[in-house]
Structure 1
Amino acid sequence: MSRTIAMISDFGYRDAYVGIMKSVIKGLSPDAQLIDLCHEVPAHNVMSGAYLVASAVAYLPENSIVLGVVDPGVGTSRRAIAVQAGQLTYIGPDNGLFNMAYDLTPPLKAVELSNSDFHLPRVSKTFHGRDIFSPVAGHLARGVAFEELGYEIEIESLVRLPEIGPLIKESGIECRIVHVDHFGNVVTNLSRDVMEAAQRRPVFARIKEHRAQFAESFAHVAKNDPVAYFNSTDFLEIGIRNGSAAEQLDLKQRNMLHIETERI
């Protein structure tokens, strides 16, 4: 049985970490199909990782395994987990990395990776990506049952990222920046679905002393003008045509933005 394993981490490509993880997986499951979703998550940035996971999962083949390692708590008491949600299985640290994906497809079952039979013989305190998560993914890909990976844990006990949801107010919607992309566009936690469920229509985004008009794309505003739009994964994003919103508007992850709305 061949399964797809989609990998995301903050390891980058300068070091051998990603290649070692792939080698462990291939040694256990030679037929596994490996996809590199992203290995340039900002170091230790679980919130950015959570957005990037959520932005990709809808496009993965059915029955894929998502292997995530953005793990600043490695070597502590944080749990190593596997979670079944819809047609996907998530493997990684229990630190909120998969939260936004859970919001898209709620978890059905979760286990702590307590069965050391599916770990490498020697487990370091600093590289669980190699010693726990990769071998577990490899064993799962070659047919080991999910239930054998460890003991079941309550879905409600899974760690959640704090303050992840937008706030619906009479005057508009308050949302938080969760990710800054390569171009300096800033992505918020406000999805089109939330906006529509609240029966609101966006008018403009208030950004300090600036206002960003809503448009379908950058091409609908003048060069160097800020623009608000729902991006390709249907989350509200602020950009600047031919520029960096993060730099030119001095925006950072976790900043709050106010979206003026009108009722539908």
Structure 2
Amino acid sequence: MNNKHLVLQTDFGLVDGAVSAMLGVAYTVAPEVTISNLTHEIEPYNINDASYRLLQTVAYWPAKTVFVSVVDPGVGSSRRSVVAKTTAGQYIVTPDNGSLSHVAKFVGLESVKEINEEVDRLPHSEKSHTFHGRDVYVYNGAMIADNESYYDNLSKEVSVDSVKTLEITEPELRDGVIHGVIDILDVRFGSLWTNIPLELVEEAGIQTGDKISVQIYHDDIKKYDNQLLFGHSFADVAVGETVGYINSLIRLGIAINQQNFSQTYNIGTGNDWLIQIKKVKGE
């Protein structure tokens, strides 16, 4: 059974040949590798979303799987190119621009090697400076997927602590109110995924079937204020009604059954989208 896995993530989309070129390089370098796509629909330049999608996915792949994540607004600049090995044994090849933030915090990094962009790259690509996804990242990713010792032979190990990380806000419970942020969307369906873990929901005394108060703020302006059911899933409420639930990352989500919450209420994501949750008294 082939256990050489390469998983690709970019903000390139599929409207041109960029992703196909990356696939071609990978198959040329490692003909026996199995290539899968995490997503190529990251919002252009959105490093935070790239970081979160890696967290959403990496832990479900076996050790030795190699991820290539290319959301690289600084391509051609002085930012480093790196390979990180997680504490669970997967590898992530990526620009060192914050895309390792969530994996570093919630999974852990065992070691990190810097890629020499002048040497460790697709042969004869030295004159190209704007497509490192093809020339640097997928090339190195395929080399590691084909033979794990390639990682060991990368000459420059760097400190795990030196990896660039984005700010990740911690949720907290104060006076019965959970304060968190909206990390990201369940994109296709528009549900909100918060940074509030199930443990904090339980600590606030909220149980399945309770009514919860939900307030959402952006730049100190209240954007949403409602009471809704905290249920198991979307089907606990009628079509068009709102519900709180625990998502696949065991964190609080907010949704409208069979409708798009984000579009309906014009709600965004990031550390400046604050959410407050509390149990409705008497429920």
TM-score normalised per structure 2: 0.84
For the residues of structure 1 that align with 2:74 and 2:169, how far apart are their CA atoms? 20
For the residues of structure 2 that align with 1:139 and 1:229, how far apart are their CA atoms? 41
SS at match of 2:227: strand
Q: Paired residue for 1:235, among 251, 256, 260?
A: 251
Q: Which AA in structure 2 matches 1:11? A: F
SS at match of 2:228: strand
In structure 1, the partner of 2:181 is 176
Residues 99-110 of structure 1 mapped to structure 2, 5 A cutoff: 99-110=101-112
For the residues of structure 1 that align with 2:78 and 2:30, how far apart are their CA atoms? 29
In structure 2, the partner of 1:129 is 133
Unmatched 5+ stretches in structure 2: 217-223
SS at match of 1:74: coil
SS at match of 2:109: coil
Flag as ranges the 4+ runs of structure 1 deviating above 6 A: none
Does 240-249 or 98-107 show the bigger shift?
Answer: 98-107
For the residues of structure 2 that align with 1:162 and 1:182, how far apart are their CA atoms? 25
Are 1:114 and 2:130 counterparts? Answer: no
For the residues of structure 1 that align with 2:176 and 2:265, how far apart are their CA atoms? 23
In structure 1, the partner of 2:144 is 140
In structure 2, the partner of 1:9 is 10
8 Å Cα contact 2:189/2:260 also seen in 1: yes
User: 1:145: how far off?
Assistant: 3.0
Q: Which AA in structure 2 matches 1:145? A: Y
SS at match of 1:103: helix
Q: 1:48 to 1:170 in 2, by over 3 A?
A: same
For the residues of structure 1 that align with 2:48 and 2:198, how far apart are their CA atoms? 19
8 Å Cα contact 2:178/2:200 also seen in 1: no
In structure 2, the partner of 1:206 is 215
8 Å Cα contact 2:44/2:71 also seen in 1: yes
Are 1:257 and 2:275 counterparts? Answer: yes
Q: 1:261 to 1:157 in 2, by over 3 A?
A: farther
SS at match of 1:118: coil
Count the aligned residue pairs: 260
Unmatched 5+ stretches in structure 1: none
For the residues of structure 2 that align with 1:117 and 1:77, how far apart are their CA atoms? 16
8 Å Cα contact 2:178/2:278 also seen in 1: yes
Q: 1:193 to 1:157 in 2, by over 3 A?
A: farther
8 Å Cα contact 1:2/1:142 also seen in 2: no
Residues 185-204 of structure 1 mapped to structure 2, 5 A cutoff: 185-192=191-198, 195=201, 199-202=203-206, 204=212
Question: Per-residue CA shift, 1:7-32, capped at 9, x if unaligned?
Answer: 11111110111111111111111111
SS at match of 1:100: helix
Residues 26-175 of structure 1 mapped to structure 2, 5 A cutoff: 26-85=27-86, 86-114=88-116, 116-120=118-122, 121-123=124-126, 124-143=128-147, 144-175=149-180
SS at match of 1:242: coil
8 Å Cα contact 1:94/1:159 also seen in 2: yes
For the residues of structure 2 that align with 1:190 and 1:73, how far apart are their CA atoms? 31
For the residues of structure 1 that align with 2:117 and 2:44, how far apart are their CA atoms? 29
User: 1:261: how far off?
Assistant: 5.5
Q: 1:241 to 1:60 in 2, by over 3 A?
A: same
TM-score normalised per structure 1: 0.90
Q: Which AA in structure 2 matches 1:127? A: F
For the residues of structure 2 that align with 1:178 and 1:132, how far apart are their CA atoms? 30
Q: Which AA in structure 2 matches 1:260? A: K
Q: Paired residue for 1:225, among 241, 256, 260?
A: 241
Q: Which AA in structure 1 matches 2:131? A: F
Q: 1:240 to 1:44 in 2, by over 3 A?
A: same
